[in-house]
Structures are given as C-alpha cells and as structure tokens.
Chain A
Amino acid sequence: MQMPDDTEWVTRAITNAKLESTTKDDAVWSLLENFLNGDLRTRPLTAMQLQAVARQLMDAMDSTTQTPEEPR
C-alpha cells in the first residue's frame, strides 16, 4: 500500500515531541522540522551526513552554548 506523500505527519510529530520534551529552543525545533521534511526521511543518512546534521543542531543551541570542546 502506498500512503500519500504527506508532510502532515512531520508537523504532528514535531508538535507531539515538543509536548514530551523540555526543550523550548525554537531554533532547534525549526531545524529538526526542516531536516525531517528533507533528507532525513528519504534515505538512511551516511555517517558523514549525520555528523553534519548533528553539528548544525549543536550550533543552533542558544548562544550561551557553543559546540563543545574536547573534554579534559
């Protein structure tokens, strides 16, 4: 059975995840929504692609938090 190619479930998933999560960081949610409407749902991402997405999300965390340095 082929379901219609919809994006409604992405909006629904984001809304439900926001309710479950304590993160109120809009920049992060907005990025996640963009990813989910793009590459994230089309094919399994390679390790390099996943790392790039992860970095963008960490950078999007609010300005007090930079991408962390190596721990001691």
Chain B
Amino acid sequence: MAWFRGAANQVTMELSGKSIVVYGTNGAGKSSFVDALEYAINGGRICHLAHEYSGKKQENAIPNTHRPKGTNASFCIQLTDGSEIKTEIKNDGTASSHGSVTNWDYRRTVLRQGEVVQFIQDTKGDKYSALLPLFGLQELEVAAENLRQLARNVESLSQLEQRKASLHQALAARKNAFGPADDIQIRATIDRLFEEYCKGKMGASEALDPIAEISAAIDTLFAGFTNSEKQYFYLREAASSDLKTPIKAIRAANSKLASAPDSQVSNKIAVLQQTERYLAGASKEGELECPACGQRIDATAFNQHVKTELDRLQDLRETYERCNAATGNLCDSIRSLKQYLNKQELEPWQHGLTESKLADSFRYLGNLDPDALRKECTETHLQQIETNLQPLVDAAASASTQSPPEAKTLADDKRTAAAANDALRTSSEAALVAKLEQLVRSISALEQATRAEIRSRSNQVIREISDDIKQMWSLLHPGEAIEHVHLYLPRGADKAIDIGLKFYGKELDSPRLTLSEGYRNSLGLCVFLAMAKREAPTDRPIVLDDVVISLDRNHRGMIAELIQEAFWSRQVIILTHDRDWYIELRQRLNPSTWNFRALLPYETPETGIKWSHKTSTFDDARSQLRERPDAASNDARKIMDTELSLIAESLQLRLRYQRFEKNDRRLAHDFLERMISAGKKCFQKKVDREYSTYEEALQALGTADTLLLSWANRGSHTFDVAQSEAVQLIDSCETALEFFKCQYCKKNLWFANAERAEWVQCQCGTIRWRYDKD
C-alpha cells in the first residue's frame, strides 16, 4: 500500500504463501491492510468508514491525510495463483482498478474486532441478513423481498385500502337506502322510475345511462314548479343530508386509533403515506434529500425505515382509511346541505329562522369550509357540527313535512335514483376489490412459498454448520457448562436466525441471555470459522483482525490450537495488538508454515506504517526511550515475563511452588533464576560432536536477570531510570532471548520434542535442553 489509510511510502505485507501473525500496538496500522482487502473485495466500500460517513464521502478517510501533492492512495494484492488486484484511488474518491480475484467473499474472508461480539448481540433479523449471503440464498431472499414489495405496490397503486374503506361506507349507505335488496330488485326500482319519468322512450335496460335520463326528466319537471314547491323540494333535499352516520363512523375509527399504543399514530400514518409517495419517485440507492429538512440522507436506510414503519402500522391503516372515507362522506353531506340551504327560494324560510336560536347555526354553516374540514376533523369539529348543523337538518325536515305531494315525490325519487346508482356501483366495486385482494394474496402466497424454500435450504446448511460450531466450541471450551451450541431458525419468524445452546443443562434460545462478552466473542468466532471452513476448497485466506480481545489467556491459547487443527491447509492472517498472545503464537505455531511480523508503533502520517526488523516486540519498548525511559524498562520486563513463562512451559521447567494465585503471576526473575540454576545441567550446546553447558547463554540470562532486578524494578516503582540504562536493559533482554534460538538452523530450542525423549532441541541439534528430572 502507499498513502492508503495509515500507509505513507510503500509498505508491503509479504506472505510468500504462508500464514502470518502480525503484531502492532493500537494505531500501528494493522487494520489498514484489512481495509485495503475490504475495499478490493467489496467494490470500494469499507463498512466501518461508511458508518462514519453515512455511506458517502468515505474517500475523505481513505487517503493518508498528509500525502504529498500529486500522490494518490494505492494498493495491490497478489495471490499465489497469479491473480492480482491493483487499485489507485484519486482524491475525489474515484478509483481505477486492474485485475480481479474470483470467488472472494468478504464476509467469509475477514472477521474484525467488534464484528464478532456484534454478531452475537445482533437481533435475529440482523443475524439472518449476515448469514444468508453466506448460505448462497441471497437470490431467494431478493425474490421474496421483491414479492413482498410487489404486493405492497399493487395495494398502493390500486389504492386498495381507500377503496375498501369507501366500499364499506357505500355498502352502509346502500343498506340504509334499500335494506337487503339485491341488484335485481334495485334495477327494478330504476325501471319503475324510468317508466314513470321517461315515458315514450325505450326501456331502461336499453338506455345508455337510465339514471342520468331519470335525473334529467326530474329536473325538467322541477323547472316547471312554483317557488313554493321548489322551496319544499330543497327543504326535503336538505333534510336528507346524513350527518349522523359519518360522525358515528369517524368516532368509531378515532376511538380505535386512540387505543393504539402510539398516541400519534394517525399523524404518523399520514406522514408515512406521504413519504412513501415521495420515495416512489426518488432514488433507492445512494443519498437523497430529506423531504423535511433538505439534509442528504442514506436512501437505502430511509426506504427501509419507512417500509418497516408502514408494515408495523398495517393493521391500523385500514381503520385510518375508514376514518378518511367517513370524513369525506361527512364533508359531502355538509356541502350538499350548504348548497340547498343557500338556494334563493329558501330565503323567506331562512329569514324566519335567523331571529331564533338557529341564527348561530346558519352563521356556522356559512363559515364552514368542507375542504378544510376534510384535512382536519377533530372531536371538537364533530361536536360543533352536531350542535349547529343537525338542528338545521332537523328544521328542514320539520318544514318539509308540509310539502305538497308532487314536490315530496319528486325529491324522494331523485334521491332514490341517485342512491340506486351508488348502490349498483358497490357491486362492481366489491368485485374489483375482491379481485385485487386475491391478487395481493396470490403474490403474498408466492412470497411465503419462497420463504418456505429459504427455510428448508437454510435448515439444511445450518445442520451442517452447527456440527462444526459444536465441534469448535467444545475444542475451545472443553468440559465447560455451555454445550450444544447450534444455529436455528426460530419458529413463526421469517428472516430470522438465532443461536441456541445448553447452559448448565438447560436449553436456551439465545446466547444474549447468559453469555459473558468473552464467551460471546468466542461463539462469534466459532460461527465465522465454521462458515469459513465450509468453503475451504475454493475460498481465499481468512483474516482475523484483533478478534480475541475479550478472551482470557487460556481460551486464546485454545484458539491457536483450533486454527492449527481446523485450518492447517488454509492460509490465515492474524492481526493482534495483544503482545502476550503474539508471543504465545510465535512460540506455538509452526514456523515452517507461519510468518511472524511486528509493526513499529505509529509515529507520524509522513512516516506511516513501518515493519520492525525483528519478530520480537522489544521495538515497542524502544519507541518510548526518548520520552519515558522508565516506561521503556517496564515494558521490557513485561515482555520478558510473558516470553519466559512460555519458554519455561516448553522446557518443562519445574518452578518452586508458591502460595495460591502467585503461581500464575510469576515474574521474569522467577523464571530466569530457575533457568540459570537448572541450565547448568540442562542447557547444552554441541561443540565438536560433544554437548557441554551453554555457558554463553547462561551468562546472557544472568546479565538480563541482574539488570531486570535493578533497573526494571526501579522503572516500575520509582520511575528513575536513565535512557542509557533502559537501552542496556532492553538490549540485554533481547540478547538473552536470542540464545533460545539456534544461530544455525534458526529454529527454537524446543523445536523437536518427543514425549518420551530426554530433551528438546533445535532442528539441527546444535542446542538442546535436557529435561530437569531431579
């Protein structure tokens, strides 16, 4: 890489086809290598940066902030099969790439710190989303999701909910006007009216629009009425305005909406429906402008949110639509009432009433805007309508009782014709609604059938993976209280996967209930490794980036064993900032298949990421020499504590028993003291085919021990160490450790070991350690 993330001038992670353990302190640049890998596999997307930058402008974080003018960030990944990817990223975020690597799935390749625990803590739905692509079932999930959206689109395009609500109201009106009469009986009524008003014309069944013809004939008759007759006609029309039914329907719907847990549900549905219409014409990917504040927001997340919310409120939407339809009916009735009561012919009647208590009602009606009421109709509005308008309707009804028979009949017949028209329309509307509902049900049935297929295939894969997870878990946690760890699909929930386990013999359906962070981490790792193992023949290297953070030493050690056992044929890249684990891996993993490299602590963006020339971690201590020589000495001691404890284990060194937990907290001096005393008999070097005590090594160990006792202890207690003293201490410690590696074959002293052998030795046998059997 060059000028990519933390890198400055070119820095290379050379693997030569081997696995590698990379150690580096926090910020040394380990994850920059993983970022390059993710960028290459994921088509230019680095997830943890996308979160930071809301899916966009991650280019701000990709190039090194202090790159010289004219330089671009770049990286190249080469594989042993000859394939490679070369990428150069310009400052505006555009990239040019050459080459490609096939069969490379990021999620099966890289596991980062945080992702492990996150996976376990994720909801069942998030686990499903994470695992499904790895199961190879993404295509089915895409189909199922498209079908779900398709059903929703049929509903919204046909305005099915509104249609159902209007139909509900229309059926109530039909029942009110015609009772249980069917279409044939209603048509007979039309025939009768047609016969009466359209005498001499063809039959009603042959007329193009019999209702319109009846209405026109009635209007013609009406034109010949006297003013008095017209007055009665209008009063009768006004009296037929139905306010009570829609008000009752609105109250019923409002009461249901009010009993919802969310008191703002009506407002939310209204906003969501408008947003849904807005999103229908907007981009589904990248960013879009928030319709409220104009800020740029992630389109995918926004679409998903609106969709989820509408789904959540699905049950209440029907009620909401019924409320809307009833409000529409109420507004229509008020408009009709207003229209008739404002007729010139009714002025004398009105005049007689304006002096009475109905004066306020006429004023209220005059000021009432039905269109405004349609937008906002509260309980206060309903009460005002009941108080003011119902008395007007009642007054009109009362006044019209004295109407002459002609006017009464004409008004009733006109209303009957209009009601018959509406009633017959309900039949065709009901048929249409039924068909649309059937279509939606068919699409939903297909979605469910697709989900059943996903479920069946997932179960098959899960059964196989669960065996691996169980095996890996029992390797990491032998004899512990948690067992039978497995993936499963929760019953009755689509798009969900969870992890089940047995905790002290009791079956639990979620690890979140009982597992500590360390155990969750370990479980996440098992799931990832089980997935990775499935693809062993075709997949690329596995990358584990700081994944053992919350595991104790014992379990970290077992992970090393697991990797060796389950992935012996696979290339593995382990990055860690845990020095103890690095030292342990360096001593336990086979150097013929593993590389070990340490990164220098990060200094400045201009110097960038740098490899240490040594595989040990003493450069961490050296980096502090200038500012804090005491801390440098203390670091050197800590490194020796860890290195020597592992060496002592490999040499089967017997240590004096100490009280309780002190046995687990031995210091470098405890080991060195024992190594030097046992070493006189045990640590040998071959010279001229004869083994004799390796005096040079014992002397180096002695020097390191002396300096550790005096200066390192001073470093950690009185902080009084000179720079020159710290340099000498670090060098002597490093020199002492080098004696455990053969200068000829470069292998460790404990390279060759047999259980029944008397000693361990390096590969060429130049140095050996006879087991201390005294």
Residues of chain A touching chain B, judged by Cβ–Cβ distance below 8 Å, are: 1-3, 5, 9, 12-14, 16-18, 20-23, 25, 28-29, 32, 36, 40-48, 50-51, 53-55, 57-58, 61-62, 64-65, 67-68, 70-72
Contacts and interface: CB of A to CB of B under 8 A. Distances in A.
B281 interface: yes
A44 B284 CA distance: 10
Given A32-B446, A45-B149, A1 B134 contact: yes
Contacts of A62: 435
Contacts of B328: 72
B627 to A, nearest CB: 52
Interface string B566-579: 00000000000000
Contact of A23 (B147, B438, B534): B438
Contacts of B441: 21-23
Interface stretch (B150-158, B467-475, B495-503): B150-158
Given A42-B139, A47-B280, 6 more contacts: A36-B143, A36-B446, A47-B279, A58-B157, A58-B436, A61-B435
B335 interface: no
Contact of A13 (B139, B159, B446): B446
Q: Which 9 A-B pairs rank lowest in CB-CB distance, beginning with the nearest?
A: A13-B449, A54-B153, A17-B445, A41-B143, A17-B446, A16-B449, A20-B445, A3-B136, A21-B445
B146 A50 contact: yes
Nearest to B285: A46
A3 B166 contact: no
Contacts of B172: none
Contact of B461 (A1, A36, A53): A1
Contacts of B435: 61-62, 65
A43 B452 CA distance: 20
A17 B449 contact: yes
Contact of B281 (A16, A47, A54): A47
Given A1-B535, A17-B448, A70-B159, A53 B438 contact: no
B143 A40 contact: yes
A36 B154 CA distance: 16
Contact of B158 (A28, A44, A68): A68
B420 interface: no
Contact of A53 (B150, B166, B279, B283): B150
A54 B150 CA distance: 6
Interface in B385-443: 431-432, 435-436, 438-439, 441-443
A55 B157 contact: yes
A17 B441 CA distance: 9
B223 interface: no
B455 to A, nearest CB: 12
Contact of B166 (A14, A36, A41, A72): A72
Contact of A1 (B136, B153, B284): B136
18 contacts: A1-B136, A1-B534, A3-B457, A9-B450, A13-B449, A17-B449, A20-B445, A21-B438, A21-B441, A22-B438, A23-B438, A45-B146, A47-B279, A50-B153, A54-B153, A57-B443, A65-B432, A68-B432
Contacts of A25: 438, 442
Interface string B160-202: 0011001000000000000000000000000000000000000
A70 B429 CA distance: 12
Interface in B132-147: 134-137, 139-140, 142-143, 145-147
Contacts of A21: 438, 441-442, 445
A43 B443 CA distance: 18
Nearest to A12: B453
B136 A71 contact: no
B154 A54 contact: yes
Contacts of A72: 166, 328
Contacts of A61: 435-436, 439
A71 B408 CA distance: 32
A48 B419 CA distance: 39
Contacts of A57: 150, 154, 439, 443
A10 to B, nearest CB: 8
B568 to A, nearest CB: 21
Contacts of A32: 442-443, 446
A3 to B, nearest CB: 4
Interface centre among B154, B441, B461 (most CB of A within 10 A): B154
Contacts of B431: 64-65
Contacts of B284: 44, 46-47
Given A1-B534, A9-B140, A61-B439, A20 B449 contact: yes
Interface string B260-302: 0000000000000000000111111000000000000000000
A23 B448 contact: no
A29 B436 CA distance: 14
A69 to B, nearest CB: 10
Contacts of B142: 40-44
B160 to A, nearest CB: 9
A52 B158 CA distance: 13
Contacts of A23: 438-439, 441-442
Contacts of A70: 159
Nearest to B281: A47
Contacts of B439: 23, 28, 57-58, 61
A13 to B, nearest CB: 4
A16 to B, nearest CB: 4
B431 to A, nearest CB: 7
B153 A16 contact: no
B162 A71 contact: yes
A55 to B, nearest CB: 7
A65 B595 CA distance: 72
A67 B435 CA distance: 11
B457 A28 contact: no
